[in-house]
Amino acid sequence: MKIDEKILKEIETCVRCGYCQAYCPTYQATRHEGYNARGRMQLAKAVMNGDDISDLFRTRINQCLLCGSCSEHCPPGVHIPEIAERLRCALNEKYGLTAVGERMRKNITESGNVNGDEQKNRLLWLANLSEKYNVKINAKAEYLYLPGCVSSLYPSSYAVVQSFVGLLCISGTDFTVLGENELCCGYPLFIGGMESEAKSVARENVKCVKELGIDKIVTTCPSCYYMWKHHYPELLGEETGLKVIHGVELLAELCENGKLHPRELNETVTYHDPCDLGRKSGIFESPRKILTSIPGITFKEMRKNRVDAVCCGGGGNLESNDPVLSGKVSALRISQAAETGATTIVSCCQQCRRTLQSGARTTRTRIKVADITELLFKLCEE
């Protein structure tokens, strides 16, 4: 299999210490070494030089959440998520896409979004948004708001976009959305090992924003954020010249500047750090600042927080690749949230919200799951 020397060398740096067993969510959920960072690295090392690579190897690599929790604590600092991404690429090149990968490629490159939905449906969430909130579409504004595919197309996630838009309006922030012109950011392609497809999506997206003449992008999706901010310059070989921020940073600023005034909430709340926003991008304090500034709230940290936070189970396309495993990981995270005694677990990510909600349902845990936009909007809405 064709894989560059650098990655092979990197795989070799795993010293098999086994530390990652304490940090790898897929291992924690299964206690099976094949689902652990060390197992993945040693397996890769063993099969890499052979000609025939089995489906099971591919499955194991596709079961990685790319959450980076292992690397954070790995003594020699092996970059496991990058290795897994490269391996996915090499496997695709050699064996073609998996059925899940092919569907994703087709959806994104042909329909423009991850579900393969019609692009005009991207604005369905507007239908039941109160009329007092005025949303400009494809217009000149200070901020371009990109809700991302999941929040715009899954009705169960509309609340995220609706709440964020509501908050922008209440705070008097000037923004626009692209509506049916918004394309998937390409992150699922990138982490699915389809780098060249991801690159062309990146190019198109940057061009579209530049044409609109806006240079500030805000998104409520940590993956879009990470992709635009971190991978776009890398993929395109140059800085985009765009200022990309996550919604929670903007909300923290609006709260601090007195543009948003949340009402009292007498509840115990905990916070789940999304991998792409927290560990991978270092945004830990904005959401905590918002939550602790809400009057009446009791804020409780989970045992594993910030860089140590356990993935919700939705990373690395796992929900598509292996929904059962994804469910086991979210059940694990939900049990950690329940340990705090919180009645609500807040996150800053529509994907975390989805997976955690399903984790709470399957484990019959009495805990509400909310995106920070939702919680804040309820407390600020007049």
26 contributes a contact to ligand SF4 by CB under 6 A: yes
- Report the residue from 69, 152, 157, 171 that binds ligand SF4 according to the rule CB under 6 A: 69
Give which of ligand SF4, other proteins, none residue 65 binds (C-beta under 5 to 8 Å, depending on kind). ligand SF4
- Binding span for other proteins by CB under 8 A among 53-61, 198-206, 234-242, 256-264: 53-61
16 contributes a contact to ligand SF4 by CB under 6 A: yes
- Binding span for ligand SF4 by CB under 6 A among 16-24, 206-214, 251-259, 358-366: 16-24
DSSP sequence for 261-308:
-------EEEE---TTTTTTT---HHHHHHHHHSTT-EEE--SS-GGG
CB of 173 to ligand SF4, least distance (A): 35
3-state secondary structure (DSSP) of residue 14: coil
47 contributes a contact to other proteins by CB under 8 A: yes
24 contributes a contact to ligand SF4 by CB under 6 A: yes
- Report the residue from 11, 80, 332, 367 that binds ligand SF4 according to the rule CB under 6 A: 80
Task: Give Cβ neighbours of residue 108 (< 8 Å, ≥ 6 apart).
Answer: 114, 184, 186, 188, 189, 197, 201
Residue placing its CB nearer to ligand SF4 in the complex, 147 or 313: 313
Task: For residue 358, give both structure tokens.
Answer: 């399903």
CB of 75 to ligand SF4, least distance (A): 6
- Binding span for other proteins by CB under 8 A among 28-36, 100-108, 187-195, 312-320: 28-36
First vs last C-alpha separation in the chain = 60
Task: Give Cβ neighbours of residue 293 (< 8 Å, ≥ 6 apart).
Answer: 255, 262
17 contributes a contact to other proteins by CB under 8 A: yes
- Binding span for other proteins by CB under 8 A among 34-42, 117-125, 280-288, 337-345: 34-42
Residue placing its CB nearer to other proteins in the complex, 16 or 140: 16
How far apart, in Å, are the Cα atoms of 298 and each of 268, 269, 295, 334?
5, 6, 9, 18
Task: For residue 74, give both structure tokens.
Answer: 């790995």
Amino acid identity of residue 352, one-letter, is C
CB of 346 to other proteins, least distance (A): 25
Residue placing its CB nearer to ligand SF4 in the complex, 15 or 137: 15
CB of 22 to other proteins, least distance (A): 4
Give which of ligand SF4, other proteins, none residue 86 binds (C-beta under 5 to 8 Å, depending on kind). none
Give which of ligand SF4, other proteins, none residue 139 binds (C-beta under 5 to 8 Å, depending on kind). none
Amino acid identity of residue 279, one-letter, is R
CB of 318 to ligand SF4, least distance (A): 8
Runs of H (alpha helix) within the chain = 5-12, 25-30, 37-48, 55-62, 69-73, 80-95, 99-106, 149-153, 158-170, 187-191, 195-212, 222-226, 232-236, 247-256, 285-293, 318-321, 323-339, 350-362, 372-380
- CA neighbor of 251 nearest in space, from 99, 374, 123, 333: 374
How far apart, in Å, are the Cα atoms of 137 and each of 42, 176, 225, 228, 337?
50, 5, 20, 21, 38
83 contributes a contact to ligand SF4 by CB under 6 A: no
Cβ atoms within 10 Å, residue 32: 10
CB of 336 to other proteins, least distance (A): 13
Residue placing its CB nearer to other proteins in the complex, 17 or 236: 17
CB of 45 to other proteins, least distance (A): 9
Task: For residue 218, give both structure tokens.
Answer: 């805000």
- Report the residue from 21, 109, 119, 365 that binds other proteins according to the rule CB under 8 A: 21
- In the complex, the residues that contact ligand SF4 under the rule CB under 6 A are 14-20, 23-26, 37-38, 40-41, 64-70, 74-76, 78, 80-81
- In the complex, the residues that contact other proteins under the rule CB under 8 A are 12-13, 15-22, 31-34, 36, 38-39, 42-43, 46-47, 54, 56-57, 60, 75-77
